[in-house]
A and B are shown apart, each in its own frame.
Chain A
């Protein structure tokens, strides 16, 4: 078919396809959901999270049950029943980082923002998909770890009932802390935009710097350590913390949540103004 300029007299209504009202937030959410689950790294991270979280909890309970039941034990079984979640948290950080930095690394963020110019909606949809998934996954994994690990503890007579103090809270708390960590990592991802940089920054801050902060001297140092995101947020994910210096579960989590929200707010301001 040969087309010449002479035929270019067709008048096209420029808005013939455009609906009168915006497709709405649910479309953005649906879009982000498809995006999230259509790459293998998501499935792999989810599997890793479950295997590490439930598997390592079962393993540590199996190997320590006898000692915990003995008179030498100076730790509580409550510190062991969500033990694997500490490692699963790394995958939550990876997942949170990748949902953002993979888009910057490939330039896909431009396709995203061309499709949905309302950047706040994009950020909110990403946050909901990520945190929702991590909450469910974290909670399910914590329960799986509880049932597997407790089977070994029960055999030595040091098992925990779900109704015991802090057990149910630590299951749901594992989900909450996972979701928070993922959001924290995503916010850093938006600010830094590079996978390796964002990932190492978050992992270092949460898992290394947080522990080292306890070496700081004086009351000032002690509070700095207590308020570090990893230290403030983690007690909610265990019936009994290994570290007695940490804040109580709910106050600690409130501090952590405030830190995550503050970082997300900064990320949102930057994201809304920056060139894509």
Chain B
């Protein structure tokens, strides 16, 4: 089901539909965050389940980072609640051992070495120092462990951020735009890592504004736009529902459209071409040929997932625009 879930009513946290508490997961319930007059996150509910990668997708300013900050107890929700493994993040005795996070900003002091950065984090949660070198090796930074972070490239900084996330060997991993600034090699590395972490049974929550990246990484998709959930469904369902295909036809005159409509197709004129749904390219060609009509172009067009995502998020913009128009009409 790819529709945004109906907003849970404000009758307390409904736990009956929340999966097993014994599993590592993030449970977000009617979460709202306002910064002054700006509503960054607006009544958002979803769960992030273990054993799969959940992609958190939305355009710039959609509220992804804000939601993730509230998961980590950094920002206080205006309303609603969020639990990790069944309790508020702040209540975990050693949060780094339970939830590992890569935050949006690099969150590093340029004057501190990578190893020292990991050392103070490890000390705060009583993580053995040996683990510091282990994660440095895991992200391929052992050679520059003693180098000041200020000299790191964007990609190296991002790798260190991922090392931080993995430091406590956490069952829940939250990554805010992990591929930001990475080269193709690095992007592939993050993708493989995210999938491996999920395969190990961990709960993996990854944000991105690139649908194409998510299509390769995520098993499940939560789409957010303007602070609201637009879709919450499995990747295959999302593709089936949104990645539509159609046949593009160029022709002269209106006869072709009439013929195709007569055969039951859904025909939409767009910029001098016709977009035909409900018939495949061969059927269109044969129908038109039977009537002795000519075509200037006949192409099967598959809209990409990126397009699907754009359409989905654009509609949330349209929705608010229409709201505005209705409002104007009402006041007249």
Contacts and interface: CB of A to CB of B under 8 A. Distances in A.
Interface of A: 1, 3-5, 7-23, 27-28, 30-32, 34-35, 38-41, 102-103, 106-108, 110-118, 273, 275-276
Contacts of B13: none
A107 B103 contact: yes
Interface residues of B, number: 59
B8 interface: no
Interface in B109-134: 109-113, 116-117, 119-121, 123-126
B195 interface: yes
B171 A14 contact: yes
Contacts of B202: 12
Contacts of A19: 93-94, 97, 126
B106 A31 contact: no
Which has the most chain B C-beta neighbours within 10 Å: A8, A106, A111?
A: A111
Contacts of B74: 110, 113-114, 275-276
Interface of B: 22-25, 50-52, 69, 72-76, 85, 89-90, 92-98, 101, 103, 105-113, 116-117, 119-121, 123-126, 164, 168-172, 192, 195-196, 198-203, 219
B106 A13 contact: no
Contacts of A110: 69, 72, 74, 103, 105, 107
A107 to B, nearest CB: 4
Contacts, number: 161
Nearest to B101: A114
Contacts of A108: 107-109
B103 A12 contact: no
B123 A27 contact: yes
A3 B171 contact: no
A11 B50 CA distance: 8
A94 B66 CA distance: 32
Contact of A8 (B108, B164, B192, B201): B201
Nearest to B174: A114
A5 B72 contact: no
